[in-house]
Chain A
Amino acid sequence: MVVGTPFNIKIPSINVDAGVEYVSTASDGTMDVPKNPLNTAWYKLGPQPGEIGSAVINGHVDWENRSDAVFTYLHNLKQGDKVIVQDNQGLVTSFTVRTSRTYDQKADASEIFISNDGKAHLNLITCKGVWDKNSKTYSQRLVVFTDKE
């Protein structure tokens, strides 16, 4: 089945209703991030949400002036919560949270971006842990794994 590209993401349990930017990799080889703190970013070199495989969307945990960003409350998601993605054809695909995991910022991300179980997954990423002022990044990443319903 052909699906359109993602257009909007809704996570009702944490009041997320956001646009989707399309990103690839940054110059340091990491997945690029949204330019707008209220948007999310989809990894366009991987599957689209709803396609077989692991689609990945990230969002900022915080922003300048300490204001909330799109995934500030991602850590509140629990098993069974819904994530809804609408594509540019108006098609709505629902996902259910399976689990969350914390990774070191430099951990191997293969299991987040690749799956071979023949099912469609959507994995959400944001920052977590302690801020390192030298490297200007947090020490960890929070990943929420969801499965297509």
Chain B
Amino acid sequence: MKILTKHIAVTLFTVLSISALSETGLAITSIDLGTAESFAVLGSSTITNTGSTILNGDLGLSPGTSVTGFPPGIVNGTQHVTNTVAGQAQIDLITAYNSVAAQTGSITISGDLGGQTLTPGVYKSTSSLGLTGTLTLDGQNNQNSVFIFQVGSALTTSSGSNINLINGAQACNIFWQVSSSATLGTNSNFSGNILAFTSITATTGASVNGRVLALNGAVTLDTSPITKPGCIIVVATPTPTPTLSPTPTLSPTPTTTPTPTTTPTPTPILVPGLPNTGLGQGSTEQPWRFSVLSLGLFTLLIISIKRQVALK
């Protein structure tokens, strides 16, 4: 029922947004993830991990309660499980999902994206979408360029597939709105923020330079490094309009005093002590060897005594 309500809200918002945006003709902009921005992984029902996954970013689950596999998985961030932070992030995720789905001016894509090079824009597939091989996203020398993918059903990437970012394309500006579930193939390298209506599964060794955000279902990971991307934001500097001024009268050039070069003050770094990076397993000292030897000799002694008693 909750999922149905969420679905209706998403659909209604999408329809309204599309009509509003169509009238205003807004250009493609980056998507505000709200508080979901701090998460590498955000799930709804469960989060299950196998193997030595590393999450660089927060982990969140709401309203579900089951997060398993950390450790051996490692979260370089904060875990928010069934708390208000995760709940708010899920609310913001719905808004972001709707915002991605509402982007207009889409170019139709279908089938498999492998071997293609795409430029910034909105791409829409009415059904499932696949990726075999390499997809290249060309930012056209604009680090603010945004790539939107609206997938009408499932998104599935093949084993060993890649997303190659060139000419300023940034993972933080790539958004995959998946209307059902996303599955990333074994040892694949994926880039961008996945906003999936249901679940997201990263199979063994699939790495994500981006975020894994599931609105209603589970997130399943297996030795999957997921790194919340940093983002370089380029702010355009306005070109000043030159004002016409009368030609100045030439005057003797004064001798300029050289300005002393200022040395930038380095940011102080807290110097720690040297790390303790060993457990002594490679050292020659092995107390257990002595214990095993003693136990063996003791056992032989007992057997010997028993035999002697039996012979008597």
Contact = CB atoms under 8 A, between A and B. Distances in A.
**B is a partner of A:** yes
Interface stretch (B3-11, B107-115, B224-232): B224-232
B279 A31 contact: no
B272 A60 contact: no
A110 B273 CA distance: 9
Given A5-B56, A5-B227, A33 B209 contact: no
Contacts of B283: 130-131, 138
B278 A126 contact: yes
Interface in A1-40: 2, 4-5, 7-8, 19-22, 24-26, 28-33, 35-36, 38-39
A113 B254 CA distance: 46
A88 B54 CA distance: 12
B281 interface: yes
Interface string B57-77: 000000000000001101010
Given A62-B281, A64-B281, A89-B230, A116 B266 contact: yes
Contacts of B297: none
A24 B277 CA distance: 14
B260 interface: no
B279 A109 contact: no
B276 A113 contact: no
A20 B54 contact: yes
Interface string B21-54: 0000000000000000000000000000000101
Contacts of A67: 281
Interface string B243-269: 000000000000000000000001001
B194 interface: no
A142 to B, nearest CB: 9
B170 A106 contact: no
Contacts of A114: 269, 271
Nearest to B286: A66
A148 B265 CA distance: 22
Interface in A82-119: 88-90, 103, 105-110, 112-114, 116
A145 interface: no
B55 to A, nearest CB: 10
Nearest to A1: B232
Contact of A109 (B76, B171, B274, B287): B274
B278 A4 contact: no
B188 to A, nearest CB: 14
Contact of A19 (B54, B228, B278, B281): B54
Interface in A44-89: 45-47, 53, 58-67, 71-72, 88-89
A85 to B, nearest CB: 13
Contacts of B191: 90
Contacts of B240: none
B278 A60 contact: yes
Give me the 9 closest cross-chain CB pairs, A-B, nearest first.
Answer: A131-B283, A127-B278, A30-B273, A131-B280, A88-B227, A62-B282, A31-B272, A31-B275, A22-B76
28 contacts: A2-B232, A5-B56, A7-B209, A21-B74, A22-B56, A24-B272, A25-B270, A26-B272, A28-B273, A31-B273, A31-B274, A31-B275, A36-B74, A45-B269, A59-B277, A62-B280, A62-B281, A71-B277, A88-B171, A88-B227, A88-B229, A90-B164, A90-B209, A105-B274, A105-B276, A108-B271, A126-B277, A127-B278
